[in-house]
Structure 1
Amino acid sequence: MNDEAAIPGIDVEPVTAWFTEHTSAQPPLTFELIAGGRSNLTFRVQDQAGGDWVLRRPPLGHVLATAHDMGREHRIISALAPTDVPVAPVVGLETDEAVNGAPFYVMDFVDGIVVRDAWVAETLSVDQRAAIGRSVAATLAKIHAIDPDAVGLGELGRKEGYLARQLKRWNRQFELAAQREVPEVTTAYERLLTAIPEQGAAAIVHGDYRLDNCMVDASGEVIAVLDWELCTLGDPLADLGLLMVYWTEADDP
C-alpha cells in the first residue's frame, strides 16, 4: 500500500527518502499498519528487494503531554540491545517532525508469533504453550536483573515511590482525557493511595509486560519484547502483577 491517503501516519515521499538514506531499502516501499489506536502506531515497511523494517510513531491527533516519547523508547531499546533481553535491532531515530509530522524510530522486522488472540493460541501445541509460559517468565526475570546504571538507564526515572507515581500519573492522564465525571475512579484512586505497599529494590520496569507484548518463535522462545513506551525504573513486582492480571481461564466470569 503506497497511497498516502490510505496510510494515515505516513508521509510516503519523505519517509521513503529517509529509508533510502539510512537503510539499504530499495523503493518503492509498502507500509502496513500492524498496531495502532491510542497507543503508538506501528507500521511494517517492506521494499522490493526483501527488506523488512518496523516504524514506530505517536498516535494521530491529540497526544497527552509526557506520553509517546519516541526518543525515550528508542533509547531504552538501544540500551538493552547488548544484554540478554531480546529486543528488535534498532536502525535509527528521526526527531525532525518535518519528515513525518512527528518523531519516529525504525527497527529491523523480527519474524515471529504474537499470541494476541485465542485463535492464535489454538494453533499452538500444549508443549509450545508451556514453553512460551516458561520463556515469558524467564524473560521478565532477565529484564529485572539488568543493572540500570550499567546500561546507561540509571536516570530513566526515579527509583523510589514507583507505585505512588504511577497512581498519580494515570489519574492525571484520566482527568485530562475524561469527558465526564466518573466518581468511581476518584474513589478507587483515593483508596489505592492509602494502601501502597512498601517497595523493594528498584529495577527496570517494562510497564506493560504481557503475553501479546512478547514475540516468540516456533519453539516458544521469546525472541523480542515489544512496546517499551511505558518503561521506567521502579518496583519489578508491578510487572509481575500486570502479567498475572492477563492470566485468565476459560471458565472465568
Structure 2
Amino acid sequence: MHTVPDGVEVVATWDEARHLESPPLLVVDAVTAFLDAQGVGRGPLAWQRIGDGHSNVTYLIERGGDCVVLRRGPRPPLPKSTHDMVREARIQKLLHAHGVPVPEIIAVCEDEAVLGVPFYLMSRLDGTVITDAIPSLLSSVEQRRATSEAVVDALVALHSIDVTRGELASLGSPDAYLRRQVERFRGLWEVNTTRNLPAVEWIADWLDRNLPASQAASVVHGDYRMGNLMFAPQTPARILAILDWEMATLGDPLADLGYFTATYSEAGILTTPLELTPVTRAPGYLTRQQLAERYRSRMGLDLTPLPWYQALALWKAAIFCEAIYTRWRRGERPNDTVFGPSLETGVPRLLEMAAQHAGLASTPRI
C-alpha cells in the first residue's frame, strides 16, 4: 500500500494537481474529506490500484482499519453516455435486491468537484479473480470443472431475473437491442480509428443482414468473462461477486453468452487480445461447447444462432480495442507498453475470428 502518494496518478491536494499536464486520478485530501462525511475510517489513508483495467479505474482504500473500494471513470474528457459511475452503482443496488452476487454499494459521489468525475465506494470482498494462475484450492480437476459450471450458472441466474416490472425495467428497452448494437458500434469505428480495415464494414454488413430474432429479454452484463468474476476463497467453487457493470443494460441474453464463449480460452484455439484468463486452456475446465450446452439446458433457448452473437462480440471488441490503440498511438497512454502496441495486430486478429464465427470463408484485406 502507498502511504505517501504522489505523481501524476495520485496527488495530495488539488493545489498540486494544478501543475500537472493532465488531471490526477486520486486526490488524497478530497477523498479523505468524502470518507469523513460518510463515516468511513479515521486518520490518514493508504491506497492501492486494483487491476489493470483499460477503462474505469479501481482503488483499494484503507483507513483506520476500514477497507473500501473506490471506482471512478478515466480522466476527462469522457465520451457521452460512457463511464457512468452513478448508473453503474444504481444497477448493482437493484441487482443486489434480486440476489445477484455484487459488492455492497456504500456511497455514491455525483459531485465532480471532488475528483473531477463521479465515483462510488463499495465493500471490499475477500475473494479471488482468476486470470493467469489457478488458485490452489480450485486446482483439482473436479474444482476446475466446478469453476466453469459456476460461471455458467451465475449467468443463467442473472438472465432469469424478470426485467418486465419494477425498477429494473427502467434500465433500458430490450426492443431492437441487437440492431442498436450493430448501428452504434458501426458508427464508433470511424471516430476511433486512423487506419483502413475494410473487414469492419464487411462484417457489419453481414451482421445487419443476418440479424436474429431475440428469444428473451434480460439484464445483459456486457462484459461477462472470468476476469470479471470473484470466487470465494474456499471449495466448492462459488462466485462471490460479479464485477464491472459499466456496460450493463436490458437486451438479448445471448449477447452475454456469445461474448463469454467467444473470448473464453480453450486449448487449440488461437489467442486474441481478449484472452485475459488463459488458465481455462488447462485440462478440467469445460470447453466452449460444454459451457454453451450447460447454459442451453438451463435456459431453454435455441442456440442455433450463437455464432452470430460470437461474431458480434469479437467485432465489437475489435472496435473498442481500436479506440485504445488509437489513444496509445496519440501518446494518451504513456504507461501502456504492452497492451496498446499489441493491438496493431490484435485488432485485425479479432476481425479475422469474428469472420470465422460468421462462416465467412474469405475476407477483404483486414
Q: TM-score, normalised by structure 2?
A: 0.65
5+ residue gaps, structure 1: none
Q: 1:182 & 1:63 partners in 2: Cα distance?
A: 25
How far apart are residue 55 of structure 1 and its match? 0.8
Task: State which of 28, 35, 47 in structure 1 corresponds to 2:63.
Answer: 47
Q: For 2:190 and 2:71, how far apart are their aligned partners in 1?
A: 27
Comparing 229-238 with 211-220, greater Cα deviation is found at 211-220
Name the residue aligned to 1:94. 109
Range with bigger deviation, 6-15 or 84-93: 6-15
CA distance in 2, matches of 1:175, 1:156: 28
Deviations 1:108-153 (A, max 9, x none): 0111010122x23677222222222121111111111112244512
Residue 32 of structure 1 pairs with residue 48 of structure 2: yes
Deviation, 1:32, is: 1.2
Question: What CA distance in whole angstroms lies between the structure 1 residues aligned with 2:53 and 2:239?
Answer: 25
- Alignment partner, residue 120 of structure 1: 134
What is the letter of the counterpart of residue 180 of structure 1?
Answer: R
Percent identical residues: 37
In the alignment, the residues of structure 2 paired with residue 142 and residue 42 of structure 1 have an alpha-carbon distance, to the nearest angstrom, of 26
Structure 1 distance, partners of 2:213, 2:49, is: 41
- Cα distance in 1 for residues equivalent to 2:30 and 2:167: 32
Distance in 1 between residues matched to 2:94 and 2:242, nearest whole Å: 13
Query: Residues 188-207 of structure 1: matches in 2 within 5 Å?
Result: 188-207=203-222
- Select the structure of larger CA radius of gyration: 2
The structure with the largest helix share of the pair is 2
Distance, in Å, in 2 between the alignment partners of 1:168 and 1:35 is: 31
Q: In the aligned structure 1, how far is the partner of 2:239 from the partner of 2:91?
A: 18
Question: Separation in 1 of the partners of 2:91 and 2:99?
Answer: 14
Which one-letter code corresponds to 1:161 in the other structure? A
Deviation at 1:176, TM superposition (A): 2.1
Determine the structure 1 residue equivalent to 2:240: 223
Of 78-87 and 60-69, more deviation after overlay is shown by 60-69
- Aligned residue number for residue 135 of structure 1: 150
Q: State whether structure 2 residue 250 is matched by structure 1 residue 233.
A: yes
Deviations 1:146-182 (A, max 9, x none): 1224451212111111111111222223322222333
Aligned-partner SS, 2:169:
coil
* Amino acid aligned to 2:37: E
Quick check: 220-229 or 126-135, which moved more?
126-135
Structure 1 residues 183 and 81, CA gap change in structure 2 (3 angstroms) = same
Is the 8 Å Cα contact of residues 158 and 219 (structure 2) preserved in structure 1? yes
- 1:201 aligned counterpart, secondary structure: coil
Please say if residues 225 and 264 of structure 2, whose CA atoms lie closer than 8 Å, have aligned partners that are also in contact.
no
What is the distance in 2 between the residues matched to 1:180 and 1:62?
23
The match for 2:312 is none
User: Matches of 1:151 and 1:114 in 2, distance apart?
Assistant: 32
Which aligned runs of 4 or more in structure 1 are off by greater than 4 angstroms? none
Distance 1:139 1:23 in 2: 33
In 2, the alpha carbon distance for the partners of 1:171 and 1:31 equals: 39
User: Deviation at 1:237?
Assistant: 0.9
* Unaligned runs of at least 5 residues, structure 2: 11-23, 271-366
- Secondary structure of the equivalent of 1:46? strand
Letter in 1 for 2:5: D
Compare 107-116 and 178-187 and name the one that shifted more. 178-187
Opposite residue 45 of structure 2, the aligned amino acid is L
Out of 82, 94, 106, which is 2:121 matched to? 106
Secondary structure of the residue that 2:97 maps to in structure 1? coil
Higher mean C-alpha deviation, range 129-138 or range 215-224: 129-138
Q: What amino acid sits opposite 2:112 in the alignment?
A: E
- 3-state SS of the aligned residue for 1:30? strand
The residue matched to 2:201 in structure 1 has which SS?
helix
The match for 2:25 is: 9
Q: Matches of 2:148 and 2:200 in 1, distance apart?
A: 33
Are 1:22 and 2:24 an aligned pair? no
Q: TM-score, normalised by structure 1?
A: 0.92
- Which residue matches 2:199? 184
Cα distance in 2 for residues equivalent to 1:212 and 1:37:
10
Structure ranking higher on relative contact order (CA contacts 8 Å, 6+ apart): 1
* Mapped pair 1:80 → 2:82: no
RMSD: 1.8
